[in-house]
Amino acid sequence: MTTVIETIDTLLVDLPTIRPHKLSMTTMARQTLVIVRMRHSDGIEGLGEGTTIGGLAYGPESPESIKRNIDTYLAPLLIGQPSGNINTLRARMARHTRGNMIAKSALETALLDAQGKRLGLPVSDLLGGARHTHLPVLWTLASGDTHKDIDEAFQRLDDRRHCDFKLKIGANAVDDDVRHVAAIKAALGDRASVRVDLNQAWDERTAVRGIQALQDAGIELVEQAIPAREHAGLIRLSRRFNVPMLADESVQDARDGLDLACAGFSGAFALKLAKSGGLYGVLELAHVAQAAGIGLYGGTLLEGTIGTAASLHAWATLPEMAWGTEMFGPLLLEDDIVTAPLEYHEFGVDLPRLPGLGITLDEDKLAHYSRG
């Protein structure tokens, strides 16, 4: 008998952060996860997660729109359909709905989780097999206070939790941000790599001045200094400086990656399941980057444990992540909604090896933090 998708439920889950998380476009004191529970006729439940940053501050999908669009438009496309052919289900969603990549990613993750449980295999095996079982993880220093960030970085180093750090800048004047970053890099010295993320805060003229100062301060990577659609400017910056440019919002999927590579971009791409519509889409982008000699970085939209585990299963199949990963989302949250958190140690995180994502919900915690 063919197994079909019977029900798809979505929940908004609000979790407080361990400290305010300051970005160029917003400051976060909590994170909202959209949790998908997809039940199949064989009794298996697949879990997925759709997460963004700061409501609508970061992009066109909000937690509320992700939930509403899954419930109203996407779930009806899947309910009653055979569970096993994920490519057919992905094509069905793409054919009938535009955009909504975070929502589609959450559903694709739930499909893969269920299929892995059904076959007794981790999701990474469904994607061809894991090349890595422990992946490096950096930490974002985003308190906005130089001394607090330095203390936080040394604590992470001493705990052997993180040895690479990213600084969120762009909300302040360029000179103030550069002084902040340079002071942290000077304090850490050779003990740690320091990168910055502008989240599109500068125009190209400002970026030229700011990046030169950051390069002089020893910063190793500059992420998305200018607006996403300014591909030509991003390419000029990548050619002008020795410090590599990391394209994030500018590169959503494999087509964006191909366009940038063909136009002469050199640097690195930030991979995110949420941008590319799921694990298959993000790996297509990774393969374009690899063919073009562009470095890879495993990015996050500050997902919880379910979304983070899904990303880890994808990153683990790649031969190399030249710039590591930032899969620290669960560590930024005061609590979790799973029975067994991910294992962070020795400057990285272990890949879950149980069937599917390898994640089980804590029903009491889920009920406590679910909205409404």
Q: Is 272 part of the annotated catalytic residue set? A: no
Indicate which residue of 166, 168, 185, 275 is catalytic: 168
Q: Is 168 part of the annotated catalytic residue set? A: yes
Alpha helix ranges (H) inside the chain: 63-69, 75-78, 86-96, 101-119, 123-126, 146-158, 174-188, 204-216, 231-240, 254-262, 273-276, 279-292, 305-315, 363-369
CA dist 355 and 342 (Å) reads 15
Beta bridge partners of 165: 139, 194
Please provide the DSSP assignment of 260-282 as one string.
HHHTT--EEEEE-HHHHTSHHHH
Indicate which residue of 61, 152, 303, 326 is catalytic: 326
Give SS3 for 92.
Answer: helix
For tokens 């059904």, what's the residue?
118
Burial 265-275 (b: 16+ CB within 10 A, else e): bebbbbbbbbb
Q: Which residue, among 79, 102, 80, 105, has the nearest Cα to 90 in the 3D structure? A: 105
Cα dihedral sign, 198-201-204-208: negative
CA dist 140 and 43 (Å) reads 40
Length of the chain: 372
Active site residues: 168, 326
